[in-house]
Structure 1
Amino acid sequence: MRIIKPFAWLALLFVAQPLIAQKVSVKSPDGNIRYQLTLTNGRPVYRVSYKGNPIINNSSVGLAFKDSGNFASNLKMLKPVYKSGVEQYDLVVGKTKHVNNSYEQAIVPLAEINGLKRSINIVVRVFNDGLAFRYEFPQQKNWSAYTLTDENSEFNVAGDPQLRILSFKTYNNAHEGLYEKVPLSKLKKDALVDMPALFEFPDKVYMAITEASLRDYAGMYLGKHNGGLISKLSPLPGQTEIKVKAVIPHHTPWRVMMISDRVGALIESNIITDLNEPSKIKDVSWIKPGKTSFHWWNGDVMPDTSFMPGVNFEFNKYYIDFCARNHIQYHSVIGYGGFAWYSNNWPGYGTPGTYSDVTKPVGSLDMQKVCDYAKSKGVGIHVWVHWQALYPQLEEAFTQFEKWGIKGMMVDFLNRDDQQMVKIQEEILQHAAAHHLFIQFHGAYKPTGLSRTYPNEFTREGTYNYENNKWLPQGLPPEHDLDIAFTRLLAGPTDYHLGGFRAVAPDEFKTHFIRPMMIGTRCHMLAMYVVMESYLHMVADYPEAYEGQPGFDFVKAVPTVWDETKVINAEPGQYLTVARRHGTEWYVGTINNSQKRNLKISLDFLPKGNYRVELYQDAPDDDKNPNHLIKSIKILTDQDIIEVAIAAGGGQAIHLMQQ
């Protein structure tokens, strides 16, 4: 719910009255972040400071329309509406169970002096860990719809901070790649920067720019502009000029700047879900996050059998039985050897053909039998589908899925974030919720907090994850895991294809499509289940890779949703320690880059008391056998500090239970 101080309602009475002063200032509740909007010669310009120091210099805001010109000059400011409020709510799926964040807000009405005399509100909301603004189009007599060609939101970042970014040449992409570390001044002019983007200032101040509540609008990128940055929107398909078409009233997504002098605060932040609407799903009792098998990643591995491996009951039974034995909540029905489980004439998983029907399994698969057997074992069925096969028969498909007893699905190969695709994804979530189905988007843009509004959205890909170890010649280094944690993770959950249990030294890595190798120790992988946020983590290897192996007990135990999240140690590109609470138990994960180091993990984040502590640490010979780990059990208190030597590419995982 939103709690609004009484005086805010009185301010609403004066929204239409002209204001002589042409300046608006809003501070965070703790006073550290300040946003100021000034109307200079009819042009709106904003700036942002943190603890008195500039972080965004004067930056213009404005919009360009196809048939009615720009909304950026010749403007007057009417009386702002100020509000103090609190975002107080519970998350069904998230890094925090109960959220309680205060903010200060201003709604600044801007109106054209001449011409069409259109009006647009700039709404700014400032929290202690960041701020956000958006454009709102109120209902008005002379303007009922708009066609947007550009949103010219500038971000003239102060100084020359180090950027940690992912950039592309085209808007149509899967939002996957290796990150660049480059000073702002050296950013290429034609770079199309994905979000979140992390800015590291010399005085240890950090800012991340991203967006929240992306709905019925185009996805946003950043581009170089006059030494700073400017918003770039993904165009509607088939052309490059038009970005958004909308009926008024309407509003844009929030443009978010997460700011702190403690980089861990950005990972802990709930600002993205704060800026989204409450859940539209009234009964959430059927929403059950968990872990899932995913045999495509391991190469569809089967042991010697008396039956033909493939898209059949027996193959899926093998993985269902594994999930049941080890309390893994879901099994993925995908296909086999590159061909999907449903009827189609496509040459492969990702290459559309002329026919598909996701309501009809291939002849060798009895989906009802698979679902019934899984249910008898306490396992839910989770299926893979290509979005172009699913979307033309959305309601028919979801009706059949619910009848079979399927619990959710991975929707794959979306690879766009234009307004049309954004609306398609929300439509999928809406229809899926009506049939008690969860969604895992793959080949998809970053999350924008919609898991608050539709908590049946469990996770998104949008990351260059461990699937690339199947074909990337050098494999993914542990530095990439840290890049993801300090950038993409700031937006929300990510599907990272966790669970590879075949770690090798970097110089021994080889690409294996079947039984892929991993760079980074076994403990690094265990820690990733805590560090990486996802409400449907994969256990992606095959059964014999896990059962009887050191560390698998941690994988089985670790939850996927959390009541509380704290960052203990954090240095971008170097190391990260995240502690998360589920009920009364805590899990701690530390991941390291390719340099050995010693770290101290203080337990002072714990409530007072004694704890049974299970520690999983890199073994002394991990340079020769990175799968080797040492598990120890201790009784410690909240006053203790754990000192640990972490291998190159290593990690540590801890499970704490109060006595």
Structure 2
Amino acid sequence: MKRSITFLFFILSSLIINAQEIISPNGKIKVILNLSDKNAVVNTLSFKALYKIENKFVEVLPDSKLGINRADEQFTDNLNFVSASKPVSIHDKYKMVCGKRQLCENSGTEKTFSFQNSNQQPMNIVFRVYNDGVAFRYVFPNHLDSQVAIINEATTYVLPYKTSCWMQPFNLAYEDFYPLGKTGLDIDKYQEWGFPALYKVNDQPVWGLISEANITANNCAAKLSNLKNTNQYQVTYPSARDNFQQTGVKTTLPWNSQWHTLIIGKLSDIVGSTLISDVSDPSQLKDTEWIKPGAVSWIYWANNHGSKDYKKVVEYVDLAVEMNWPYVLIDWEWDVMSNGGNITDAVNYAKSKGIKPLMWYNSGTIWLDPTPNDRLLTAEKRAKEFSWLNKIGVYGIKVDFFAGDQQDMMNYYIDILKDAAKYHLLVNFHGATVPRGWSRTYPNLMTTEAVYGAEWYNNNEVLTDKAAAHNTTLPFTRNVIGSMDYTPVTFSDSQHPHITSYAHELALSVVFESGFQHFADKPSAYESLPPEPKDFLKHVPVAWDDTRLIDGYPGEKVIIARKKGDKWYIAGINGKNVPQTLLVKFDFIDKGNYSCQLIKDGKDGKSFSSEIIKVKKGDTLKIECLPGGGFVGSINK
């Protein structure tokens, strides 16, 4: 009997050592860290994530490898498990200047796991299991003043064979589609992928969105690669193979990686999640009253050119006045402006009309030469330029053409944000990496492009046929992780036509979230709108107090409700090339009687139909949409 008890104790002890669990405060998400091996030496360190459905946990992420390597030490195999901390409760409540929600709140459980490699060098992995997902990062806790090189990670997300996924083939500007694919089947053409990556758990109503957050000056940004195994997506740093001179990370110790994030839940949980900003560093700015989101009139799209024509710039200032938009963006070539005035004249004209001017800059890349170029590359140049912008009365900058995700480029982004804040300048990044939580740390970052947006109507004919499905995919992918400068709401045609309906285009003002919402069409297109859609665009907010997904599926349809103050806005778009009935369930409003100003497809794609309807909580509204059609509504109590 005694031997049996001893043997049972040994088995239980092994189980305690070999697996560690972390559970979210709401009990819905669980992470199991696999430490299995003899004598607490871990040959292969891995974790898996589970989600509770009807009192049963289902696997969202199978066992997925962990580990990281420096040039001087490796922390992937034969690790000695030292200890696991007691669970720590995480509860964060903070305000955002812009985004899907002004007041953000999330709770999580944190545990730190300590290891040593074969040379007795320490490495920690910090796991947080939040109510809507998982975040983890690597930490080298020891102090070392000399520089070390972090060269790669073993971190690999394993997705089962034939998992439905929506992933963007990687390119430096993050401007591509998120096509539906099946793991193991659709990998012949592309084998490197940009964040975020959306997937659906097979045969379960559960989704996962993989990304990363809280990039600092001591990190590079990463991508996913399944070059080694078609179902295994490894976190991959910029490398010499990408033609970058700087690869990996150079740093002193202590050091921590960015947070690796996995949002988990229903599609509504994915869309509503603020996990990316939840794990990012809080802002150190004491005063943010000068940071004002807003709508912007934008000159480039309709003209396929910049702002060297003073009289054209004046037209867009007048458009901003007409449409009640607070900003005008003076795009590239303003340094060679002529035809009646120069840049100072244009800025003064905008200010005389009560419009706040923003100005474009080339980040300084040598492979693209639109001017002005090379005015921001050093702290001294930024100080000179930003001081001048303050003097003439400019409120923000758009910086374009960044050259990759390597560490020195992350430093450049951060330096621009910090220096711009000193001069109370708002920032928009174009030709840039996807958001990774900087909007919380540096709230003067209003938006980032990193999307295959309306600008592509100028470049080739592909978007014409793909726009409707693409637009219904972005709310579940790119726009989840941060503000997205798609430059929407175009009714006329630029170089290539659009076949989405006018109501679809109008709906993008609500479906897409961006702290600067650049309305891209020409002045005549907005000025000639019927009264109802025109008035809607005059007053639609760009920063929100709440965001709810009402219904949707990537590439097929999306219905989103957003709240500002005591007013709700709803918008839906049809991603299919056939008519579709969209159902709006009014479960998101409080009890009481409401009126809804509804603007939807007219008889054809180039007309609107408007009506005022009465709604109350619990009602369901059926809205018929044309192929590639849509609707918007504003709801008042």
Please list the CA deviations of residues 337-358 of structure 1 after superposition, one character each: whole Å capped at 9, or x if unmatched.
xxx1126xxxxxxxxxxxxxxx
1:246 aligned residue: 251
Classify the secondary structure of the residue corresponding to 1:518: coil
Once the two structures are aligned, what percentage of the paired residues are identical?
Answer: 28
In structure 1, how many angstroms separate the alpha carbons of the residues matched to 2:251 and 2:157?
Answer: 25
Range moving further from structure 2, 143-152 or 644-653: 143-152
In structure 2, how many angstroms separate the alpha carbons of the residues matched to 1:72 and 1:82?
Answer: 25
In structure 1, how many angstroms separate the alpha carbons of the residues matched to 2:33 and 2:319?
Answer: 58
1:13 aligned residue: none
Please list the CA deviations of residues 223-271 of structure 1 after superposition, one character each: whole Å capped at 9, or x if unmatched.
11444221111237855783111111221111111111x2121011111
2:472 aligned residue: 482
Classify the secondary structure of the residue corresponding to 2:101: coil
2:7 aligned residue: none
Across the two proteins, how many residue pairs are aligned to each other?
A: 591
1:497 aligned residue: 487
Classify the secondary structure of the residue corresponding to 1:196: strand
In structure 2, how many angstroms separate the alpha carbons of the residues matched to 1:362 and 1:39?
Answer: 68
In structure 2, how many angstroms separate the alpha carbons of the residues matched to 1:103 and 1:497?
Answer: 35
**Aligned CA distance change for structure 1 residues 74 and 272 (closer, same or farther; 3 Å):** closer
Range moving further from structure 2, 577-586 or 175-184: 175-184
CA contact (8 A) 2:574 2:629 kept: yes
Asked whether 1:379 is paired with 2:383, we answer no
Asked whether 1:256 is paired with 2:261, we answer yes
2:12 aligned residue: none
Asked whether 1:33 is paired with 2:13, we answer no
CA contact (8 A) 2:298 2:316 kept: no
Q: How does 1:17-28 map to 2 (within 5 A)?
A: 21-28=17-24
In structure 2, how many angstroms separate the alpha carbons of the residues matched to 1:610 and 1:517?
Answer: 41
2:149 aligned residue: 147
In structure 2, how many angstroms separate the alpha carbons of the residues matched to 1:613 and 1:363?
Answer: 46
Deviation (angstroms), 1:310 = 6.6
CA contact (8 A) 1:66 1:242 kept: no
In structure 2, how many angstroms separate the alpha carbons of the residues matched to 1:247 and 1:72?
Answer: 23
Deviation (angstroms), 1:75 = 2.1
Amino acid at match of 2:580: R
Classify the secondary structure of the residue corresponding to 1:372: helix
2:367 aligned residue: none
Q: How does 1:344-383 map to 2 (within 5 A)?
A: 365-383=341-359
CA contact (8 A) 1:311 1:364 kept: no
Please list the CA deviations of residues 525-577 of structure 1 after superposition, one character each: whole Å capped at 9, or x if unmatched.
11111111101111111111111313222121111000011110112221110
Amino acid at match of 1:372: N
1:268 aligned residue: 272
Please list the CA deviations of residues 302-334 of structure 1 after superposition, one character each: whole Å capped at 9, or x if unmatched.
xxxxxxx97354332222122112211111112
Amino acid at match of 2:260: R
Deviation (angstroms), 1:187 = 4.2
Q: How does 1:565-644 map to 2 (within 5 A)?
A: 565-593=547-575, 594-619=577-602, 621-622=603-604, 626-644=605-623
Amino acid at match of 1:103: G
In structure 2, how many angstroms separate the alpha carbons of the residues matched to 1:35 and 1:365?
Answer: 62
Amino acid at match of 1:283: D
Asked whether 1:209 is paired with 2:210, we answer yes
Gaps of 5+ in 2: 1-14, 365-373
In structure 2, how many angstroms separate the alpha carbons of the residues matched to 1:598 and 1:45?
Answer: 45
1:65 aligned residue: 70
CA contact (8 A) 1:311 1:365 kept: no
2:628 aligned residue: 649
2:199 aligned residue: 199
In structure 1, how many angstroms separate the alpha carbons of the residues matched to 2:391 and 2:617?
Answer: 50
Range moving further from structure 2, 477-486 or 20-29: 20-29
Give the alignment's Cα RMSD to 1 decimal: 2.2
In structure 1, how many angstroms separate the alpha carbons of the residues matched to 2:354 and 2:440?
Answer: 27
**Aligned CA distance change for structure 1 residues 187 and 228 (closer, same or farther; 3 Å):** farther
CA contact (8 A) 1:568 1:578 kept: yes
CA contact (8 A) 1:63 1:72 kept: no
Deviation (angstroms), 1:283 = 0.5
In structure 2, how many angstroms separate the alpha carbons of the residues matched to 1:274 and 1:72?
Answer: 31
Provide TM-score, normalisation by structure 1: 0.86
In structure 1, how many angstroms separate the alpha carbons of the residues matched to 2:177 and 2:106?
Answer: 33
Q: How does 1:63-212 map to 2 (within 5 A)?
A: 63-112=68-117, 114-115=118-119, 117-140=120-143, 145-168=147-170, 173-188=172-187, 191-201=191-201, 202-212=203-213
Deviation (angstroms), 1:366 = 3.4
Deviation (angstroms), 1:398 = 1.0
Deviation (angstroms), 1:585 = 0.9
**Aligned CA distance change for structure 1 residues 364 and 427 (closer, same or farther; 3 Å):** farther
In structure 2, how many angstroms separate the alpha carbons of the residues matched to 1:91 and 1:311?
Answer: 35
In structure 2, how many angstroms separate the alpha carbons of the residues matched to 1:596 and 1:100?
Answer: 39
1:349 aligned residue: none
Deviation (angstroms), 1:363 = 10
Amino acid at match of 1:441: F
Amino acid at match of 2:187: K
Range moving further from structure 2, 477-486 or 225-234: 225-234
Asked whether 1:545 is paired with 2:545, we answer no
CA contact (8 A) 2:17 2:35 kept: no
Classify the secondary structure of the residue corresponding to 1:652: strand
CA contact (8 A) 1:93 1:452 kept: no
In structure 1, how many angstroms separate the alpha carbons of the residues matched to 2:402 and 2:250?
Answer: 21
CA contact (8 A) 1:66 1:149 kept: yes
Amino acid at match of 1:184: T
Deviation (angstroms), 1:464 = 0.8
Provide TM-score, normalisation by structure 2: 0.88
In structure 2, how many angstroms separate the alpha carbons of the residues matched to 1:283 and 1:136?
Answer: 32
Amino acid at match of 1:590: G
In structure 2, how many angstroms separate the alpha carbons of the residues matched to 1:111 and 1:363?
Answer: 68
In structure 1, how many angstroms separate the alpha carbons of the residues matched to 2:514 and 2:159?
Answer: 31
The one of 371, 385, 390 aligned to 2:375: 390
CA contact (8 A) 2:417 2:442 kept: yes
Deviation (angstroms), 1:367 = 3.0
Amino acid at match of 2:590: P
In structure 2, how many angstroms separate the alpha carbons of the residues matched to 1:144 and 1:53?
Answer: 45
Amino acid at match of 1:638: K
In structure 2, how many angstroms separate the alpha carbons of the residues matched to 1:207 and 1:72?
Answer: 27
Please list the CA deviations of residues 469-497 of structure 1 after superposition, one character each: whole Å capped at 9, or x if unmatched.
12322424300111222211121111111
CA contact (8 A) 1:191 1:223 kept: yes
Amino acid at match of 1:198: L
In structure 2, how many angstroms separate the alpha carbons of the residues matched to 1:385 and 1:416?
Answer: 17
Asked whether 1:341 is paired with 2:323, we answer no
Amino acid at match of 1:552: K
Deviation (angstroms), 1:365 = 4.4
